[in-house]
C-alpha cells in the first residue's frame, strides 16, 4: 500500500496532487488540431441533442456539486434550463421529463444506486441520458445512451477530490458541445473557452504550489467546532463542497451558504472568532458580483468573524477585510471552481490529519454507495 501511495502520507494527498493531470487528461483528445471541440464519443444523434430543451443533472455527494457548477455553464452556453437534482430526490417526485430532456448523470464510481435508479427512471420517461463517469464499463455508463468519461484515474480515498475536478471539466466540455450544436455558443466562444480550459492544469498546479499557509491555518484550527463557507455564482457550490469536505474528513460541523442569503439568516450565526471561508468571484465578474461579496466579507468581519478569503491574484479589494487571503490565478469566472476548491480540499485534509484522523477512510462513509 505504501508503494501505491507513492510516498504520500495518504491516497487523498496523492489524489489532490494529481488534479492538474486529472483535468489535463479529461481534456486530452477532445479537440482537433485546429483546437476545435470533438466529442464523438457522445453517441447521441446530434440533431436530437440540438433539439434538447431542458437538461436535468442527477447525482449525489460531491458529484452533485459538480452538477451545480455545470448548471451555470450549460445555461450560459446553451440557453436552456438546467435543473440539478439529487438522484434520490429526482426519482420520487414525479419529475417533468420527456424525449426532449437530456438527463446527465455524474458519478465517479458509476455504481451509486440512487444515481443508477434515477437514470433508469429518466429512460422510462423517454429522456436521452448521458453519463459522466470515472470508471470504465461501470453500470451507469452501460445503462446510459452515451458516456463522457472523466480520466482522473482510479480514486481510492473515500472522499472525492480529483474526480471532482475532472467531472467539472467534463461538464464544461458537454456544455460547450451542446451549445455548439444548438448554435447558442459561437465557434469563437467554444475555441476561446477550450483554450482557457487547456490553461487550467497549470493554474491548478500554481494553487497547489502555494498552499503552505493554508496548511498552517488548518493546523491552528484543529479545535474548531464550526466553520462556515460562503460563495456566490459558481463559488456557491464550491462553498458547499468546502463544507462537505470538512464534515467528511474532519468531522467538524460546517455549512456552505450562498453569500446573498447571508442577510436572510446565516449572519445570525456570526460571532467573534467564527471562522468563515469566503470564495470571492473575480473582480471582472458580471453584475458587480465581486463588490457584493466584498460587502459580505465586510459585514461578517465587522461582527468579529475570522475571514479566510479565497480571491484572485491581484484582487486588492478584499484585503482590508480579510484576516487571510488565499490567492488563485486569474481565469474566466465560470472556470474558477477548478481553482478555488483546491485550497478547501487541502484545508479539510490537513485539519483532519492534525486531528489524527484517517483521511482516506472517514468513519461511517463508503466510497461508493450501492444501496438505496
Please tell me whether residue 139 binds ligand G6P under the rule CB under 6 A: no
Q: How far apart are CA 245 and CA 124, in angstroms?
A: 34
Nearest to 365 by CA among 115, 108, 61, 12: 61
Q: 71 catalytic, yes or no?
A: no
CB of 155 to ligand G6P, least distance (A): 8
Contact between 266 and 303 (Cβ < 8 Å): no
Q: Which of 10, 129, 131, 160 binds ligand G6P (CB under 6 A)?
A: 160
Kindly indicate which of the ranges 76-84, 105-113, 274-282, 323-331 contains the residues binding ligand G6P, using the contact rule CB under 6 A.
Answer: 105-113
Kindly indicate which of the ranges 152-160, 175-183, 222-230, 294-302 contains the residues binding ligand G6P, using the contact rule CB under 6 A.
Answer: 152-160
CB of 106 to ligand G6P, least distance (A): 7
Kindly indicate which of the ranges 68-76, 153-161, 225-233, 235-243 contains the residues binding ligand G6P, using the contact rule CB under 6 A.
Answer: 153-161
CB of 372 to ligand G6P, least distance (A): 13
Burial status of residue 307 (CB atoms within 10 A of its CB: 0-12, 13-18, 19 or more): buried
Contact between 146 and 132 (Cβ < 8 Å): no
Please tell me whether residue 62 binds ligand G6P under the rule CB under 6 A: yes
Retrieve residue 264's grid coordinates: 436572510
Residues 309-338 that bind ligand G6P (CB under 6 A): none
Please tell me whether residue 170 binds ligand G6P under the rule CB under 6 A: no
Q: Which of 19, 63, 101, 340 binds ligand G6P (CB under 6 A)?
A: 63
Please tell me whether residue 169 binds ligand G6P under the rule CB under 6 A: no
3-state secondary structure of 100: coil
Please tell me whether residue 348 binds ligand G6P under the rule CB under 6 A: no
CB of 281 to ligand G6P, least distance (A): 25
Q: Which of 115, 205, 274, 285 binds ligand G6P (CB under 6 A)?
A: 115
Nearest to 59 by CA among 19, 8, 108, 128: 108
Please tell me whether residue 19 binds ligand G6P under the rule CB under 6 A: no
Please tell me whether residue 26 binds ligand G6P under the rule CB under 6 A: no
Taking the mean position of all CA atoms in its chain, how far away is CA 116? 20
Please tell me whether residue 61 binds ligand G6P under the rule CB under 6 A: yes
Q: Which of 10, 26, 108, 296 binds ligand G6P (CB under 6 A)?
A: 108
Cα dihedral sign, 313-318-321-326: negative
DSSP classification of residue 259: G
- Phi/psi zone of residue 361: left (φ > 0), alpha (ψ -120 to 50 degrees), beta? beta
Number of amino acids touching ligand G6P (CB under 6 A): 16
CB of 74 to ligand G6P, least distance (A): 19
Kindly indicate which of the ranges 93-101, 141-149, 353-361, 363-371 contains the residues binding ligand G6P, using the contact rule CB under 6 A.
Answer: 363-371
Which residues are registered as beta bridge partners of 59?
A: 86, 106
DSSP classification of residue 282: P
Listed in sequence order, the DSSP H helices in the chain are 11-17, 19-27, 46-50, 61-78, 87-90, 113-124, 139-142, 162-182, 187-198, 200-209, 212-220, 235-250, 289-302, 337-354
If the CB atoms of residues 25 and 312 are measured against ligand G6P, the closer one turns out to be 25
Interface residue list for ligand G6P (CB under 6 A): 60-63, 107-109, 112, 115, 158-160, 365, 367-369
Active-site residue numbers? 367
Amino acid at each position: 500500500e505504501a508503494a501505491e501511495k507513492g510516498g504520500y502520507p495518504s491516497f487523498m494527498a496523492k489524489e489532490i496532487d494529481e488534479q492538474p493531470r486529472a483535468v489535463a487528461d479529461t481534456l486530452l483528445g477532445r479537440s482537433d488540431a485546429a483546437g476545435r471541440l470533438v466529442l464523438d464519443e457522445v453517441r447521441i444523434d446530434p440533431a436530437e441533442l440540438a433539439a434538447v430543451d431542458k437538461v436535468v443533472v442527477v447525482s449525489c455527494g460531491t458529484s452533485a456539486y459538480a452538477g451545480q457548477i455545470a448548471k451555470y455553464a450549460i445555461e450560459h452556453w446553451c440557453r436552456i434550463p438546467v435543473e440539478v437534482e439529487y438522484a434520490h430526490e429526482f426519482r420520487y417526485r414525479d419529475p417533468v421529463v420527456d424525449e426532449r430532456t437530456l438527463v446527465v448523470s455524474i458519478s465517479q464510481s458509476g455504481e451509486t444506486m440512487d444515481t443508477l435508479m434515477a437514470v433508469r427512471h429518466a429512460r422510462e420517461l423517454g429522456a436521452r441520458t448521458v453519463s459522466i463517469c470515472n470508471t470504465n464499463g461501470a453500470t451507469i455508463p452501460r445503462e446510459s445512451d452515451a458516456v463522457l468519461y472523466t480520466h482522473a484515474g482510479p480514486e481510492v480515498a473515500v472522499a472525492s477530490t480529483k474526480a471532482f475536478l475532472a467531472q467539472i471539466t467534463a461538464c464544461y466540455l458537454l456544455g460547450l458541445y451542446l451549445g455548439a450544436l444548438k448554435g447558442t455558443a459561437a465557434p469563437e466562444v467554444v475555441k476561446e473557452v477550450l483554450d482557457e480550459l487547456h490553461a487550467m492544469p497549470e493554474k491548478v498546479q500554481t494553487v497547489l504550489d502555494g498552499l503552505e499557509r493554508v496548511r498552517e491555518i488548518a493546523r491552528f484550527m484543529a479545535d474548531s467546532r464550526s466553520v462556515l463557507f460562503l460563495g456566490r455564482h459558481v463559488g456557491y457550490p464550491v462553498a458547499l463542497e468546502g463544507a462537505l469536505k470538512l464534515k467528511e474528513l474532519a468531522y467538524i460541523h460546517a455549512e456552505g451558504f450562498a453569500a446573498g442569503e447571508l442577510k436572510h439568516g446565516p449572519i445570525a450565526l456570526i460571532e467573534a472568532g467564527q471562522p468563515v471561508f469566503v470564495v470571492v468571484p473575480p473582480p471582472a465578474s458580471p453584475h458587480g458580483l465581486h463588490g457584493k461579496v466584498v460587502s459580505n466579507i465586510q459585514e461578517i468581519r465587522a461582527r468579529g468573524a475570522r475571514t479566510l478569503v479565497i480571491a484572485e491574484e491581484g484582487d486588492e479589494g478584499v484585503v482590508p477585510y480579510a484576516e487571510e487571503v488565499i490567492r488563485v490565478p486569474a481565469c474566466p469566472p465560470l472556470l474558477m471552481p477548478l481553482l478555488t476548491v483546491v485550497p478547501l480540499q487541502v484545508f479539510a485534509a490537513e485539519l483532519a490529519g492534525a486531528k489524527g484522523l484517517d483521511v482516506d477512510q472517514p468513519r461511517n462513509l463508503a466510497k461508493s454507495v450501492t444501496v438505496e
